[in-house]
Structure 1
């Protein structure tokens, strides 16, 4: 089977490329080798690119160009569409770029598939937990509710938890695939559009489609250069440079962290299982972990006694809590995350210690967000 992976030189894509290659698939990768992910000289220094360059048919190109899509789609059976601009914070002021790549780029793929001869039988698109916005909560009287974004004026006073319109404190619930779709960032909006475009267009032309709504994917190989995504990378840089860890809000905000190997396993199951066709799935662990817990884990694993500063800062567009209800992917695809957070963080930190730790330019990114009015 011939598989095209867009963004296949990236964090998830490079591992997926190698796994599928080992299983006997013929792999083509379309990737623009973004410097924000791969560094200034990606073809020379990027370990992710170097890990795949001699093992796949590599096309350096961009999903915003239809001709690059045509070259990549030719003679493919399956498309795994991972290429995207990522990061909720950056999306709030690079709106045109996020829309161009995530929405327009996807539209070019679909336009070709609908209007030009091709052999594609299935598409797996990487969606995101960001499409749920603040996710699902329980109101003490009303039961399940899907609240809107928190108000900046409340967070400025240190009140970070989710409350209903009547002021009641809400408790977070796992978000299932039937939960309300109401993204609160430009990134989330583009991922919602991307998912809906793929699922709708493919159903009209008889191509099977699968959408995977990833939670926070982490692990060995993730970018240590990008200050807009991945608190594990940011915290690691702070710790290993003997700086205090800067924790936003009150540190009790939580996420569902899934190791990249488990994320890759979910993608492969989506390719190989006919029961995945025309379905959407959450991809996570179902386990809720606070940001302060992550900071403490990393400090312990790196054996560094740096301070943890609860700054009270917050970013417009960030959510409070989100963790996945994974019962659907468990039952339909027999998927279960195998790598615990403890094991995954141990693997991650051991890998980081073998890398050349560079400044992730966190302060510059924070100053940029302040200027845009997005960091308070």
Structure 2
């Protein structure tokens, strides 16, 4: 399995994976449309992610929604790592057609070709997401494990941000394992669920190994600082550097599982190389929840700069309260354990950010868009 195609391979995870695979002697081909939202308006000359891989591998500029681009990309490949997708839970709630076309239809075209045309592919690795779980897993003294539904907008407007479950009494958050309930709370989450199910169902039916990785919140040097739809680390960092205040949604105690890019690459390579991964689904995270308030304070510590922050009580419809991964299957099956702790990873991220030119993040515009659509309260 020496020839590997990475769709979306000029993106954050894809470019890091490509460089690591090249160092291990693989032949890498990338299919990517160099989306301006990720790479800027002149990506061939200004995108650090694209420049990091330029002239080091075979690059096809194209779209996963175009069959002819897939035909060129799949020819002669042994493994497909399918990263190409529109990302961002908030934006997905009002750009439904685009998210569905790219994420679901793009995956369907790939699978249709694998079923109906001659090819050498023997493994497909799909980038799934923690977003497919919706709210995370909780324990109730009365009922045992429960999976709360999406939060009510009226309750959140009244400042009640925690989840509830009928008849469960008080709830304690616990790690979400791969057998947990799938009930995404955003269009993005729904599209990732469908992507995963399509790949795992179709590939097994035609004798191709499928591997799905449900990535948690991936971060690190190289992530987009201009895309306001893909993470608070970039948003907060831009505002800290500019000396601007930080708006912390809800009560600041909502939490996520942040996993460093190198650990994500290690897990993905294990999925490519190890037969033990075949036809299995894995969480990729750290199994440690980090609150948004802690994120802001950790960033300011490493920037050695304090800016005002306001816990505003604002919230986005479609956001979850808590979710962190149970990674025991990843550890026990693929012998992969995250090595980079959050504070260490943030330190590396901040050092990289300091070396980047200041750029407009379009953060305020993204808030206006969501507010106009009734999704930001």
Distance 1:150 1:117 in 2: 47
- 1:365 maps onto 2:366 in alignment: yes
Report deviation, 1:165.
Answer: 2.6
Distance 1:185 1:165 in 2: 22
Q: In the TM superposition, what whole-angstrom CA distance separates every residue of 1:19-71 from its partner, at most 9, and x where no partner exists?
A: 00010000000000000000111011001001101111000000000110010
Distance 2:170 2:235 in 1: 31
Q: 1:187 is matched with which residue?
A: 188
Q: Contact 2:83/2:126 (CA < 8 Å) preserved in 1?
A: yes
Paired residues, what number? 376
Q: 1:196 is matched with which residue?
A: 197
Q: 1:144 is matched with which residue?
A: 145
SS at match of 2:283: strand
Q: 2:99 is matched with which residue?
A: 98
SS at match of 2:348: helix
Q: Which runs of 4+ in 1 moved over 4 A?
A: none
Q: 2:248 is matched with which residue?
A: 247
Q: 2:72 is matched with which residue?
A: 71
Report deviation, 1:324.
Answer: 0.2
Q: 2:124 is matched with which residue?
A: 123
Equivalent runs, 1:10-159 vs 2, <5 Å:
10-159=11-160
Q: 2:281 is matched with which residue?
A: 280
Q: Contact 1:161/1:169 (CA < 8 Å) preserved in 2?
A: no
Report deviation, 1:143.
Answer: 1.5
SS at match of 1:126: strand
Q: In the TM superposition, what whole-angstrom CA distance separates every residue of 1:103-159 from its partner, at most 9, and x where no partner exists?
A: 000000000000000000100000000000102111231121011001000000111
Q: Contact 2:250/2:311 (CA < 8 Å) preserved in 1?
A: yes
Q: Contact 2:142/2:169 (CA < 8 Å) preserved in 1?
A: no
Q: 1:327 is matched with which residue?
A: 328
Distance 2:167 2:80 in 1: 46
Gap runs ≥5 in structure 1: none
Distance 1:357 1:217 in 2: 22
Gap runs ≥5 in structure 2: none
Q: In the TM superposition, what whole-angstrom CA distance separates every residue of 1:87-108 from its partner, at most 9, and x where no partner exists?
A: 0000000000000000000000
Distance 1:250 1:372 in 2: 23
Distance 1:149 1:337 in 2: 30
Q: Contact 1:258/1:285 (CA < 8 Å) preserved in 2?
A: yes
TM-score under structure 2 length normalisation: 0.99
Report deviation, 1:357.
Answer: 1.8
Change (3 A) 1:121 1:253: same
Distance 2:294 2:169 in 1: 26
TM-score under structure 1 length normalisation: 0.99
Report deviation, 1:167.
Answer: 7.8
Distance 2:358 2:254 in 1: 27
Q: Contact 2:142/2:168 (CA < 8 Å) preserved in 1?
A: no
- 1:206 maps onto 2:202 in alignment: no
Q: In the TM superposition, what whole-angstrom CA distance separates every residue of 1:258-301 from its partner, at most 9, and x where no partner exists?
A: 00110000000001100000000000000111010000000111
